[in-house]
Structure 1
Amino acid sequence: MEEKELAELLHLVSRRLRHGYVRRLVPLGLNPGQARALRALADADRPLRMVQLADELRIVPRSLTPVVDALEEAGLARRQVDPANRRSTLVVITPEGRTLSARARGARVEAGEDLFAVLSKDQREQLSALLTLVDGQFR
């Protein structure tokens, strides 16, 4: 059997993780983009401007609009005018959004635990350290 290259293996494992995560998000009524936006809002110490949230998510601001629209429609976030700059819009997470963000975070953790259950605790720690090292070179 031919050995897969490292990049291909990482891609396959990442896809499996994403699919497990998406399966757990569906009952919550969220997609991964909405869950990421809620997580960024929940982790922020204050409401974020739309442009700040887009930067945090590494997407262009116009791609954020439908995400915030859906969160607002579901009562998970709301827009408000930034009192410091009336031309800017803040995105504020609601209490319901904060609760659902915690549940989505739990769904991500569960998906990871299921995927990496074949590894020992030491192996998971080693993999985490290696991936942290690789990720660190791009920050």
Structure 2
Amino acid sequence: MTAPAASSAQPPAAAPPHVPSRNDLLESLAVIAGAQWRDFAAAAAHQGLTSMQAKLLGQLVRPLPMRELAALLGCDASNVTGIVDRLEAQGLARREADPHDRRVKRVIATPEGKETIRRVRADMHVMHSALSALDDEERAALYRLVERMRPALDV
């Protein structure tokens, strides 16, 4: 009895993975960004803030000049003045003179303001649920990719 002849047929090659275009990625990111913004606004309202008040408060990881806040928020400096006035009235932020140029006013989150924005982010149930759909390895990979993109966004 002879051994069967070896087959010369190669197993079929796996199809190359679909590589999404930049437009495909932008569309997906737009959906995520829209959901994130709606969730953020709802969580801000739960804390008694407008979405713009919470957005401004979230930018205050360090003291920022009013003009820089206006640029970050994409609004006029006079709008920032009104938002900061309301945050100050709630004890969530305060103004101080810049130590290098006393004509410039910087905005600082108070300890209560920092705790409030922490609660807003903790209250974002839609986004927390979406992120929970990822396992630890996927969340780590997503984090690395997002952090890799950040420098190009000037944030």
TM-score, length-normalised on structure 2?
0.65
Task: Choose the corresponding residue for 1:17, options 31, 36, 45.
Answer: 36
Per the TM alignment, residue 80 of structure 1 is displaced from its structure 2 partner at its CA by 4.3
Per the TM alignment, residue 22 of structure 1 is displaced from its structure 2 partner at its CA by 2.0
Structure 2 counterpart of 1:75 = 91
Q: What letter is aligned with 2:95? A: R
More helix by share: 1
Structure 2 counterpart of 1:98 = 114
Q: Give CA deviations for 1:79-134 in whole Å, capped at 9, x if unaligned.
A: 345575443323343343233133224335x5432122222221222222222223
Structure 2 counterpart of 1:127 = 142
How far apart are the structure 1 equivalents of 2:47 and 2:55?
13
- Measured on the aligned residues, the alpha-carbon RMSD in Å equals 2.9
Q: What letter is aligned with 1:33? A: M
- Secondary structure at the residue paired with 2:49? coil
Aligned length: 132
Q: What letter is aligned with 1:26? A: A
More RCO (CA 8 Å, sep 6+) = 1
Residues 39 and 105, structure 1, Cα contact 8 Å, conserved in 2:
no
Residues 17 and 115, structure 1, Cα contact 8 Å, conserved in 2:
no
Q: What letter is aligned with 2:150? A: D
Task: Choose the corresponding residue for 1:26, options 19, 42, 45.
Answer: 45
Indicate the larger mover: 11-20 or 80-89.
Answer: 80-89
Structure 2 counterpart of 1:107 = 123
How far apart are the structure 2 equivalents of 1:104 and 1:126?
25
Q: What letter is aligned with 2:91? A: G
How far apart are the structure 1 equivalents of 2:31 and 2:95?
37
Residues 43 and 121, structure 2, Cα contact 8 Å, conserved in 1:
no
Percent identity over the alignment? 30
Q: Give CA deviations for 1:7-58 in whole Å, capped at 9, x if unaligned.
A: 11111122112222222221101233322322333x22xx443234445x35
Q: What letter is aligned with 1:13? A: I
- Indicate whether 1:62 and 2:75 are aligned: no
User: Looking at CA atoms only, which structure, 1 or 2, has the larger radius of gyration?
Assistant: 2
TM-score, length-normalised on structure 1?
0.71
